[in-house]
Structure formats: structure tokens, C-alpha cells
């Protein structure tokens, strides 16, 4: 499952993936994002630390990247996308996604640290903290650095 929220005011997209992620989940995410009509120069933070990407193939990664690039091109360009993962396999898959560079409109980086991703995106912690509160499910246990961001945004 991939949750998604967009702040038009801050032109910031926050997403969180949990559990086993398959290609259909990723393509549906891009479809939802496309319908949001995000503005050019958007920033996007994808938290995949609770995701299991083991069912994805390199072909799936390429298809997902192609669809993501279509959305970025429609958004108008100069966009930044940070993907945060913390497990070795997921980091490798995310780096493969990052290395498939087909799109000048989107700059993408993979991070192991949530805070490093936020610094690179150059967005306020208050913006990120607000979106994290919206995405935070009552049954989920927040990751420690997310809690620090939420606390510092209050």
C-alpha cells in the first residue's frame, strides 16, 4: 500500500509505502499523482522504509520509472524526488530506479536517512511534519526521525 498526500500550498508531495509493494501499486501511485495536477518545481518525499520490494523485477523498475517520468513531464519540470529506504535490498532496487535517467524534468536521489532527504529537498520541517501527521495511521509506529520532525514542527 502506498499512501499519498499533496500540499498545494507548499507544492510538496509526501508518500509512504508499507508492506509488499508490486508493480500495480507503483503504477497506481503515479496515476493518483497525475490526477493531482501537481505544479512545476514540486518536491516529493517517498518513505519506503516499511516497504518490501522483493517481488519487483528490473523490468518492473523500468516500467515504473517510465510512468513516473511521464507524470514529471506533465508537471512541467525542475522537480525533485527523494526516496528513503533503509534495507539493503530495497536500497539496491531504489538505486537501480535512480540510475535509469530518462527525464530532464525530474531530479531523483535515494537516501537511507529521512533527514538527509529533507535537507536535499530544501523544504521546511514544518511542511514535512504536517504531512506526516496526515499520513500517520493510528496502528503504525512512527520511525524515530519522523517523530523528531513532527515534534520540531509543533
pLDDT over 50 at 112, yes or no = yes
Output the pLDDT for position 126: 62
Cell readout for 117 is: 532527504
Q: Residue for cell digits 524526488?
A: 81
Is residue 150, in this structure, part of any structural domain at all?
Answer: no
The model's pLDDT over 7-42, given as tens digits with 9 standing for 90+, comes to 888 888 889 999 999 999 999 998 998 888 788 788
Contact indicator for 4, 15 with CB cutoff of 8 Å: yes
Is residue 28, in this structure, part of any structural domain at all?
Answer: yes
The model's pLDDT over 117-138, given as tens digits with 9 standing for 90+, comes to 888 888 766 666 666 665 554 4
Domain that residue 118 falls in: 2-124
Contact indicator for 15, 45 with CB cutoff of 8 Å: yes
Is residue 151, in this structure, part of any structural domain at all?
Answer: no
**CATH (domain of 84):** 3.30.750.24
Output the pLDDT for position 154: 36
Q: Write the CA distances from 86 to 91, 100, 152, integer angstroms.
A: 7, 20, 23
Is residue 23, in this structure, part of any structural domain at all?
Answer: yes
Looking at residue 140, the DSSP 8-state letter turns out to be: S
pLDDT over 80 at 150, yes or no = no
What contacts 43, CB < 8 A, 6 or more positions away?
10, 11, 12, 13, 79, 80, 81, 82, 121, 122, 123
Is residue 148, in this structure, part of any structural domain at all?
Answer: no
Is residue 107, in this structure, part of any structural domain at all?
Answer: yes
Output the pLDDT for position 143: 44
The model's pLDDT over 53-87, given as tens digits with 9 standing for 90+, comes to 999 888 998 888 888 878 877 777 667 889 999 89
Is residue 141, in this structure, part of any structural domain at all?
Answer: no
Amino acid at each position: 500500500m502506498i499512501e499519498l498526500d499533496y500540499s498545494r500550498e507548499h507544492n510538496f508531495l509526501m508518500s509512504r509505502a508499507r508492506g509488499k509493494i508490486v508493480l500495480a501499486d507503483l503504477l497506481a501511485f503515479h496515476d493518483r499523482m497525475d490526477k493531482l495536477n501537481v505544479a512545476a518545481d514540486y518536491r516529493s518525499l517517498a518513505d519506503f522504509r516499511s516497504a518490501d520490494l522483493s517481488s519487483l523485477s528490473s523490468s518492473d523498475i523500468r516500467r515504473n520509472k517510465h510512468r513516473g517520468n511521464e507524470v514529471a513531464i506533465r508537471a512541467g519540470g525542475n522537480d525533485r524526488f527523494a526516496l528513503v529506504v533503509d534495507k539493503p535490498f530495497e536500497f539496491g532496487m531504489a538505486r537501480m530506479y535512480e540510475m535509469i535517467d530518462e527525464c530532464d524534468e525530474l531530479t531523483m536521489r535515494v537516501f537511507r536517512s529521512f533527514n538527509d532527504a529533507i535537507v536535499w529537498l530544501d523544504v521546511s520541517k514544518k511542511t514535512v511534519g504536517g504531512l506526516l501527521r496526515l499520513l500517520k495511521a493510528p496502528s503504525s509506529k512512527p520511525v524515530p526521525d519522523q517523530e523528531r520532525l513532527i515534534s520540531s514542527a509543533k
